[in-house]
Structure 1
Amino acid sequence: MEDGLKTRVLLVDDEEDFLSVLSERLEARNLKVSQATGGEQAVEIVDQKDFDVVLLDLSMPGMDGLETLKKIKADHPETEIIILTGHGTVQAGVEAMKLGAEDFVEKPVDIHVLMEKIQDAREKHVLVMQEKSREEIEKILKSKSW
């Protein structure tokens, strides 16, 4: 994350103290962090703004993490999502990965491990977006009769 562009992260968790503390820790590491306190709010925010990585709590009231993951991936398949949970099971992690999560991290979060996973997810997001742009440029060039 040494490059000049800050990694844009959406942190989604219903525990406001956790949300606040982790946001501060990520911002101290030069990430641009937005917050959502639930799945519905996260989906609305992702619909309005592009993120490199979404850090998504698995266990939330209302729309849980798996349902939120499904909705975000349905409309924004290029979005990289890392599942965070204090109530994780291997089965839930496997299910999240099958649904398109980039990775799975249990709370309490080791900030160094999380930063590595965010970096990996951001790099993958950048590559996906570059490929998408390349395909769009090729499509435009093929449609022109030069």
Structure 2
Amino acid sequence: MSRIHVLVVDDEPDFLKLIKRRLTKRNLDVDTAASGEEALEFLRSGNVDVVILDVRMPGLDGIETLKEIRKRFRETSVIMLTGHGSMQSGIEGISHGAYDYILKPFSIDDLLERIRAAFEHAQLRRKEGDKA
């Protein structure tokens, strides 16, 4: 299996550094973006399997970014990050095409398991797209 390429999108720089370090230690290729706009720009130029996307960000928020990802990068799986114990944001993300959502704070092992499942889902979507 090829290495999973993950893009983590969050407006908190310390969180981005921490997650990038922890996921890289687990043999994932990890890039980061500090905004929805930056994430979309990165997706135009890179091959990303899974996007970890914070719901609350200034500017283009997570839900609006998700909508754009679904329009332009249909084979990329998205996992929504939602804080403040709000499952409603995660459910809204699922209704707009997110693969999954996870509540902050979370365990890195739980996140890793969800990333792997989202990657497998993205691989299936690519295979189905190749057949069409």
TM range (shorter): over 0.9
Distance in 2 of aligned mates of 1:76 and 1:55: 14
Please tell me whether Structure 1 or Structure 2 has the larger radius of gyration of its CA atoms: 1
Match of 2:126 among 94, 112, 129: 129
Deviation at 1:81, TM superposition (A): 0.2
Deviation at 1:91, TM superposition (A): 1.7
Q: Which residue does 1:46 correspond to in 2? A: 43
Q: Which residue does 2:23 correspond to in 1? A: 26
Distance in 1 of aligned mates of 2:83 and 2:90: 12
Change (3 A) 1:125 1:72: same
Query: Structure 1-normalised TM-score?
Result: 0.87
Q: Which residue does 2:90 correspond to in 1? A: 93
Distance in 1 of aligned mates of 2:70 and 2:63: 10
RMSD value over aligned CA atoms?
1.0
- Number of equivalent positions: 132
Stretches (4+) displaced over 2 A: none
Deviation at 1:25, TM superposition (A): 0.3
Match of 1:56 among 53, 57, 64: 53
Distance in 1 of aligned mates of 2:52 and 2:43: 12
> 3-state SS of the aligned residue for 2:58?
coil
Deviation at 1:41, TM superposition (A): 0.3
Amino acid at match of 2:75: E
Counterparts of 1:61-72 in structure 2 under 5 Å?
61-72=58-69
Kindly indicate whether the alpha-carbon contact (under 8 Å) linking 1:59 and 1:87 is maintained by their aligned counterparts in 2.
no
Deviation at 1:46, TM superposition (A): 0.9
Distance in 2 of aligned mates of 1:102 and 1:19: 21
Amino acid at match of 1:34: D
Deviation at 1:88, TM superposition (A): 4.5
Deviation at 1:50, TM superposition (A): 1.9
Match of 2:113 among 111, 116, 123: 116
Distance in 1 of aligned mates of 2:15 and 2:41: 21
Give unmatched runs, 5+ long, in structure 2. none
Distance in 1 of aligned mates of 2:79 and 2:109: 15
Distance in 1 of aligned mates of 2:126 and 2:36: 24
Answering whether residue 2 of structure 2 is matched by residue 11 of structure 1, we say no
Give unmatched runs, 5+ long, in structure 1. 136-146
Distance in 2 of aligned mates of 1:55 and 1:83: 6
